Amino acid sequence: MGRHRRRSETTINRWGARAAVAAGVTAAGFGSTATAQAQPLWPAGPLWPAGPEIPAAPTIPNLPVNLPALPALPTLPGVPPLPALPAVPGLSALLPPAPVTAPCSAQARACFRLSTNEGWLMDNGKVIYGPTPVSFGRPGYETPPGVFQVNFKEIYHWSTLHNAEMRYAVFFNGDIATHIGPIEEQSHGCVRMTPEGARAFFEYLEPGDVVEVVE
């Protein structure tokens, strides 16, 4: 009876040990599964170990702004130079016009040049109108050069001497005046002007203003 009880206890102890081992293996299996599930899955990619740090790119020094001019190319003997570039159409319109000048002194308010049949209005030596085309006296009735002053002016004047109409007449030397007339023909001494020119001189000039007539 006592021997049979010892065998039963021994058998129970063996089965208990086996159950403990089995429980340990099962627990280990669950632990491995938990560890495996903690790792990242594809396609996120495996965790790669950190590599060496990439050094920063070197700084490029600033280039000088004003570079030296290139030397001129030497002239080859026997080779003709290149021709000048043609004028660009419309380029002259972009350039400021040259100031207009007149051949009279700064005191003149009206200026006439006999050799070019031109007239100007002036203010302190600066041209404010002109040149405008005019015509002067014919041979035997030449318009004399000189410095004169405006005597009087009339919008409409009738010449009893020559039986002719003189519109926008400005008298500056006796019976010699500026007025509207055909500039293609010479006069009896007066300064014939276009309608626009005669009106501009009439409206600008006043008695006492200086009129210069040069060759």
Active site residues: 179, 190
Q: How far apart are the C-alpha atoms of 143 and 136, rounded to whole Å?
A: 6
Greatest Cα pair distance, the chain, in angstroms, is 183
User: How far is Cα of residue 1 from the mean position of the Cα atoms in its chain?
Assistant: 126
Assign residue 18 a region: left if phi > 0, alpha if psi is -120 to 50, beta otherwise? alpha
Q: How far apart are the C-alpha atoms of 202 and 194, rounded to whole Å?
A: 12
Q: How far apart are the C-alpha atoms of 134 and 149, rounded to whole Å?
A: 19
Given a contact cutoff of 8 angstroms between Cβ atoms, the answer to whether 102 and 120 are in contact is yes
Q: How far apart are the C-alpha atoms of 197 and 215, rounded to whole Å?
A: 20
User: How far is Cα of residue 120 from the mean position of the Cα atoms in its chain?
Assistant: 33
Q: Is 199 exposed, middle or buried (0-12, 13-18, 19+ CB in 10 A)?
A: middle
Q: How far apart are the C-alpha atoms of 46 and 29, rounded to whole Å?
A: 23
In 10 A of CB 102, how many CB atoms?
22
